[in-house]
A and B are shown apart, each in its own frame.
Chain A
């Protein structure tokens, strides 16, 4: 009994470290530079996703809006939160771009076309990005310490993920439903560069 105690204890420790401790250790968590509230902008400003996260004329996606977009409304304080005052003082006035940490930034060799998914397939933003619009704060950015990738694209958080497996799953499901989207047997270079 005592002989096995340490082994068992070791196994349990290993399991605990691997399942519980490792995810905490492997990810480096940082807050976003500005405490931005999607909920306030959605409710009070009546903004929808595409008002700030827009498409350009040639069909490419602009992603996170630049300072120009924010300063368009926030040249002067519009509310009374400390977060907004800090933002104007630190970014709008000196004209400095906030260094946003993009949760969804894919590796360099991945090619993803927002135009095909949003405009042609009519996918909702929340289907891949989760329901950001209802959040009052931006969740911290968790980044893998070794590979440098965001947890959203190379980790598991119980929300719709953006790993290659998740993309392939969705494509296979919609191909079965007969929606005409790319099925499983497509070329690698369709999504990779």
Chain B
């Protein structure tokens, strides 16, 4: 009969014996190894590394992108012609964005729209609002809308001209973020050593910090400066409005006229800005007509482009908004006023944060780099161009292609619109094709149609080359400036570089959370004299509503302005006026 003591002796002996074996030491090491690989730490997928090319669809710059892919999945993006912006570098994260819309009732949307079309009259029209005009999908909408009863194609106000930065020796930027996401950044930086940049802006922005000269004008007074250098108003009057010294304004005007070609650039290239550039003799050189790639002849019968602002208020019974490609976010108030009571609003979007908040029905779409499409020309592209954003990965199930949906509503078959467009471009025989894989350029005349289409899909771009600009247009008439004397809304609301509206990846928080390079969402920067401490909670209020924000004290922002990170909700709050106030809570 074994006793308990003998049992313990046995156990003790086994323990000693085990210590002389590899077992316990191995278990300790194994546990450490297990902790390196425990569930939750993802293991990067291995596989063949391939290089694929596409164009970034996050903004109209449409930079050429070289994607380093493991198998088919992009894991790193780099620019073909230089660096990409911080959004472009993390662009391949966009399909996995937590804000992504994944569900939508296509049946409900289709039947609601069909009913609205059947009941449409000129007073209750059906409109498609295209937030990224200039694409081939835009032509599809125009063709579809022409076949729909009382159909209208709406777009944001289009720029009055395109800009040729390389031709300018002096550039006066009236608040345009020229070095911070304007135009095609890699070309801007390539041209940078050849021009003198004068930045006229209230805020000491990134562009102002690196400009050759910064003119700290009073908020909202950039128009006065533009008129002064164009000779439409006197330097004395402009000095009064902008707060600059009269001598400084005269000096700037002289600099623009006496040092070769000069260019005036503003965040929106309106007809007024074009008028100033015409006064500086820039037509055909620094400012040129906006050009588009050729379209098939059968498309010319499409509906005209109508600016949203020109639409009569309350005249739409149904509105389809294409928000599938990141672009301008028009304030909701501007859109809502065009709707008749009980109007159906269907929005095609990739994000829950945009118009999906206001629409009757939101349908999810594929997003870069899943989506196939082409890109409009950037503001600084003096020639016509055609470049595709090529799908690198398949979209998740349940996505809708907005152009096909709208085409189906109108009874059109538009499956191969991009291919047709490429065919029309090839048939025109103009321009050249540049392929990224080998870096070569060749005339379109020397390329067969099939190869042309294949090259565009494998990473290439068509450009038309320089064309004659023709006679300068008639300058737009001078209108009296609107002066904001509203003391209820003493601050001017500005947004921190529009491209920030697409928070492409949660990694972007490193720019606002772990450093202070950019403003975090729901943060407002105010001058120290505004009377808030750093980190204070407040309400940002505008005539259109309000939202809770946290204050960041920043001496780059002048008194009288509040700077906020651009998000759809902020664009809605900003409206067309841009005035605001910040109140303590």
Contact = CB atoms under 8 A, between A and B. Distances in A.
Q: Consider the complex of A and B and state whether they touch directly, i.e. have CB atoms less than 8 Å apart.
A: yes
A3 B13 CA distance: 12
B479 interface: no
B114 interface: no
A17 B14 contact: yes
Nearest to B11: A10
Contacts of A60: 48-49
B33 A19 contact: no
A94 B17 CA distance: 53
Interface string A125-162: 00000000000000000001011110000100000000
Interface residues of A, number: 30
A58 interface: yes
Given A146-B34, A147-B30, A147-B34, A10 B13 contact: yes
Nearest to A10: B13
A100 interface: no
B12 A18 contact: no
Contacts of B7: 6
B18 A18 contact: yes
Given A17-B21, A22-B22, A22-B26, A6 B48 contact: no
A8 B13 CA distance: 6
A149 B48 CA distance: 23
B488 interface: no
B75 to A, nearest CB: 14
Interface of chain B, main secondary structure:
helix
Given A108-B43, A146-B30, A6 B9 contact: yes
Interface in B13-44: 13-23, 26-27, 29-31, 33-34, 36-37, 43-44
B10 interface: yes
B6 interface: yes
B17 A144 contact: no
B169 to A, nearest CB: 45
Nearest to B13: A10
A10 B30 contact: no
Interface of chain A, main secondary structure:
helix
Nearest to B9: A6
Given A14-B15, A14-B21, A18-B22, A148 B9 contact: no
A10 B10 contact: yes
Interface in A150-185: 154
A9 B23 CA distance: 18
Contact of A146 (B9, B22, B27, B44): B27
A176 B31 CA distance: 36
A19 B26 CA distance: 12
B30 to A, nearest CB: 4
Contacts of B18: 14-15, 17-18
Contact of B37 (A8, A10, A13, A147): A147
Interface string A1-44: 00100111111111111110010001000000000000000000
Contact of A148 (B6, B11, B37, B48): B37
B23 A22 contact: yes
18 contacts: A10-B13, A11-B14, A11-B17, A12-B17, A13-B17, A14-B18, A14-B20, A14-B21, A18-B20, A22-B22, A58-B49, A107-B36, A108-B36, A108-B37, A146-B31, A146-B33, A147-B31, A148-B34
Given A14-B17, A109-B36, A148-B33, 11 more contacts: A6-B13, A7-B13, A9-B10, A10-B14, A14-B15, A56-B48, A58-B49, A60-B49, A107-B37, A108-B44, A146-B27
Name the 6 nearest CB pairs between A and B, nearest first.
Answer: A18-B21, A10-B13, A14-B17, A147-B33, A14-B14, A146-B30
